[in-house]
Amino acid sequence: MCGAESGQAGPVHWVRAEDLKGLGAAELRPGLDRLLTARHADVGLDVLRKSGLLEALLPEVQAMVGFGDGEWRHKDVWKHTKQVVIQAVPRVELRWAALLHDIGKVKTRTISESGEVHFFGHAEVGARMFDKLERRLKLFSEEAPLREEVRFLVLHHLRAGCYDGSWTDSAVRRFSREMGSHLEALLLLSRADMTTKRPEKKRAAMRMIQELSERIDQLAELDARVPPLPKGLGDHLMREFGIPPSRQLGNLMRALELAADAGDIEARREPEYYVDLVGRERERFGLAPS
């Protein structure tokens, strides 16, 4: 395909688009992986584009070329994508996610009456486009975990960037839980996605991602030491609702603990918070209406 490995642009091996017909993932993926994880992956991507292979293989990516600038008042999506690719840690899942994270922008661009450009829902559209791309090429057919991670990162690549420091601890816990095993990769992709040319804006965005990461670690450490419900809550519930030590009390405590773990209610609050909550939502917690 083309070479851009080990910090060098490398020799270019020209391949015609028609030569790719009939090739499967086993033939296509290794070369694409090497290109994407190279130090100068942006050079390799441009060679791929100029040779016509980008359009033949990944028309969803080709569509981003020249999309932006000029009258539309937003950055060139292709240039941005290449920068995100080379800024991303050179791991296969991150580089593929970087390449594909904005493919949904082409289909979602809207211009408001005031001239503002929006890409509402482009992450969700991009994830659906990834599904179609995968059905066509089956690039990740033999590596389901990799396929799922790339898709997850495309779908959620905006999430960490929404953090502004005002999130409650419960919101941070919920975010961490929803990102699950993909959390580290998502934070790395979010950092790579910062391509603004305004230094202070970039520093501020990076600080927010770092603060989010640190809060996640701090809360995880706290949660490992402190149970989600306060000590003595069972006594408060028995007195308030006339519940004796019983299976009913145990079920009520477990329901509260599960709700706290899920982020549906706040964890580590004073007992009165939970007593008031149960009183207001008796049926939810298995108590007869008052």
Same domain, 146 and 262: no
Give the residue among 78, 188, 96, 164 at the shortest CA–CA distance from 134. 96
Please return the burial class of 80, using the count of CB atoms within 10 Å of its CB with bins 0-12, 13-18 and 19+.
buried
In a domain, 58, yes or no: yes
In a domain, 210, yes or no: yes
**Cβ density class 107-119: b for 16+ within 10 Å, e for less:** ebbeeeeeeeeeb
Same domain, 116 and 55: yes
Same domain, 177 and 143: no
- Domain boundary among the residues 136, 158, 180 is at 158
- Domain boundary among the residues 137, 158, 179 is at 158
Same domain, 129 and 217: no
Same domain, 25 and 110: yes
Same domain, 238 and 280: yes
Number of domains in the chain: 3
Same domain, 151 and 265: no
Residues 6 and 180: their CA atoms lie apart, in Å, by 32
Say whether pLDDT at 113 is over 70: yes
Give the residue among 96, 82, 212 at the shortest CA–CA distance from 152. 96
- pTM, two decimal places: 0.76
Residues 3 and 11: their CA atoms lie apart, in Å, by 6
In a domain, 277, yes or no: yes
- Looking at residue 220, its amino acid is A
Same domain, 32 and 164: no
- Segments forming the whole domain that contains residue 221: 159-225
Same domain, 49 and 121: yes
In a domain, 290, yes or no: no
Residues 272 and 136: their CA atoms lie apart, in Å, by 57
In a domain, 2, yes or no: yes
Residues 6+ apart with CB under 8 A from 254: none
What are the pLDDT digits (tens) for 81-111?
999 999 999 999 999 999 999 999 999 998 8
- Domain boundary among the residues 205, 225, 245 is at 225
What are the pLDDT digits (tens) for 8-41?
444 444 455 566 656 666 688 999 999 999 999 9
* Mean pLDDT for the stretch of residues 164-182: 94
Same domain, 65 and 84: yes
The average confidence (pLDDT) of the chain is 89
Same domain, 109 and 242: no
Same domain, 240 and 269: yes
